[in-house]
Amino acid sequence: MRLSEPPTPLETQATLLLVDDEPNVTAALRRILRNRPYRVLTAQSGEQALSLMEADPVDLIVSDARMPGMDGATLLREVYARWPACIRIFLTGHNDIDTTIKAINEGKIYRYLGKPWHDAEVLQVIEQSLAYQYAERERLRLQELTHAQNLELQDLNESLERRVRERTAELAATAQLLEHANQELERGYVTATEVFSSLINQRLPQSRQTNQKVIHLIQAFCQAQKLPEEEARNLTMAAALYNIGKLTWRDEMLALPADHLSKEQRDRFRDYPRIGQSLLMALDPAQDAAVLIRHHQERWDGTGYPDGLSGDAIPMGARLLKLAVDTIEMEMGMIQARPIPRPDALKLIAQSAGRSYDPVLCPAFIDAATGLSEDRTPLDASILVLGSHALEPGMIMMKKLYSGSGTLLLSEGKILNQRLIERLQELEHNGDEAFQFHVRRPAPEELDD
C-alpha cells in the first residue's frame, strides 16, 4: 500500500481568512499579500468568519482581538474546537494583554501580531505559519504511511507464517513417508535420483517443473530402442537432474522464458549445465550422468555451450537429452513466451536436425515421442485405480505417486501396509489433496513368499 506524495507549499494555494470589523484593516492586509500565491477571504465579524469556514476550508485565519459581538479570542477558541488544523494568528493592540492571554489559553493561537504592524513581519509570520502547517501535515502523512506499511508487513508476516506451517506440515508428512521408501531407495540410484529430482521441484515454480516429463520421454525412447540397462539408467538420472544448475538462479529468472532473458541473464543461463556437473562431482554413481548434463546444451553444428562441441564429439546421451529437454521446454513455454503443442514442437525439432540436433537420432526420437501423452501408463485388468480409502494392505504400487508440489511419495513396486495407508490418508487430509493410486493385488505365489 502506498500513499501519494503530498504537494509542497509552492505547489498548492493556501486559503487565508482575514477577520476585522474595520474594512480598511483587512484591505491593508490584502495589499501586503497581493503578490503571494494565497487565496484570501475576508470577514467583518466572528459570526461571518465561522459561516465562511463552514462552507470553505481555510488553512490560516488572522483575527482582530476587539470586534463587536464575538471577540477575536472567542472566535479563535471556536475555530480551534472545530478546525484544529487551521493555523490561528491573533491581531491585537498593545493594551489588549488580557484578551491576548485568553486567545493563547483558549484558542491555542500559533502567533500574535501587534498593531500597528510591520508588513515584512506579517509576511514572515504567515509564511512561517504555513511552513509549520505543511510540516505537520507531512508528519501526519508519514505517520499514516508508516501505520499502513506496518499493517501490510503484519499481514505479510502472518501469511508467511501460515505458509511455513503448511509447508512444514507437508514436509513432515513427506518425511514420514520417505522412511517407508528406504527399501525402494536401496534398489538403485535411479530411484534415489528421482527423489532428489522431486525435491528440486520445491525450488522451481510449478510451471517450470519439467523433470518428470523429460524422464518420461527419455524412458519411452530407451524402451523403444531397447537400450542397455546401464545406459538407460544414466540417461534417466541425467533427465532427473539436468536442471540442478538452475537452483543457483534468482526466482525472477526461473520464471522467464529463454527468449526474454537479458544479456547478463543469458550468460548465467549458458553456465547452468557446467554448474550442474560441478554439483554432482562428489557423487560417484552420478558421474556418467553428470557428463551428459554438462553437454546437453551442445548443438550438432558446434554453436552450443558450454564447450562448443559438435557432431559425434557430443556424447550420444547428451544429444538425446537435448532433444527431450527442448521438446518439454517448448511445450511449457520456457524457450519462447508461448507454449508450443507437442506436434508443433516435434516439427521444429525435425526442421533443426543437422543444426541443433543429431540428424540420425532425430527421427527415432520423434517416433518415440509422437503420440506419447503425459501419462501413458498401460492398465490391464489386474491394475486398479483407487482412492486412498479403497486401499488394502498387501496391494502393490504399479505407478509412482507424487504430491501436488512434485515430491516423490511412493515408488513403483512398493507394497502397502496398514500403517502406510493411514499415513497416506492423513497426508491427503492435511494437504487438501486427493491422490489416485495405480495398484494391483498380489498374486498367490507372492503371498506365499
Alpha-carbon gap, residue 15 to 77, rounded angstroms: 19
Average pLDDT on 1-20 reads 64
* Cell numbers 504399479: residue: 398
Average pLDDT on 361-385 reads 73
Alpha-carbon gap, residue 395 to 397, rounded angstroms: 7
Tell me, what's the pLDDT at 374?
A: 47
Average pLDDT on 302-307 reads 94
pLDDT digits (tens, 9 = 90+) for 136-149: 888 888 888 888 88
- Is 47's pLDDT higher than 90? yes
Which range scores top for mean pLDDT: 52-61, 115-124, 428-437? 52-61
Domains and CATH numbers, the chain: 9-141 (3.40.50.2300), 182-375 (1.10.3210.10), 377-449 (no CATH)
Average pLDDT on 249-269 reads 81
Q: Kindly state the DSSP code that residue 386 receives in the 8-state scheme.
A: E
Tell me if the pTM is above 0.75: no
SS3 163: helix
pLDDT digits (tens, 9 = 90+) for 309-342: 999 999 999 999 999 999 998 998 888 778 889 9
Q: Are strands 383-386 and 437-440 parallel, antiparallel or unpaired?
A: antiparallel
Tell me, what's the pLDDT at 107?
A: 54
Average pLDDT on 358-379 reads 75
C-alpha cell, 295: 553437454
Cis omega before residue 306 (within 30°)? yes
Model confidence at 91, pLDDT cuts 50, 70, 90, reads confident
Tell me, what's the pLDDT at 283?
A: 78
Tell me, what's the pLDDT at 36?
A: 87
Alpha-carbon gap, residue 224 to 5, rounded angstroms: 66
Tell me, what's the pLDDT at 185?
A: 43
The whole-angstrom distance between residue 29's C-alpha and the CA centroid of its chain comes to: 58
Model confidence at 405, pLDDT cuts 50, 70, 90, reads low
C-alpha cell, 371: 503420440
- Is 49's pLDDT higher than 90? yes
Tell me, what's the pLDDT at 173?
A: 72
Tell me, what's the pLDDT at 323?
A: 96
Which residue intervals of 244-359 are DSSP H helices? 251-254, 263-269, 272-279, 287-295, 316-331, 342-351
Query: pLDDT over 70 for what percent of the chain?
Result: 82
Average pLDDT on 376-404 reads 77
- Is 75's pLDDT higher than 50? yes
pLDDT digits (tens, 9 = 90+) for 419-445: 999 988 888 888 777 888 889 888 776
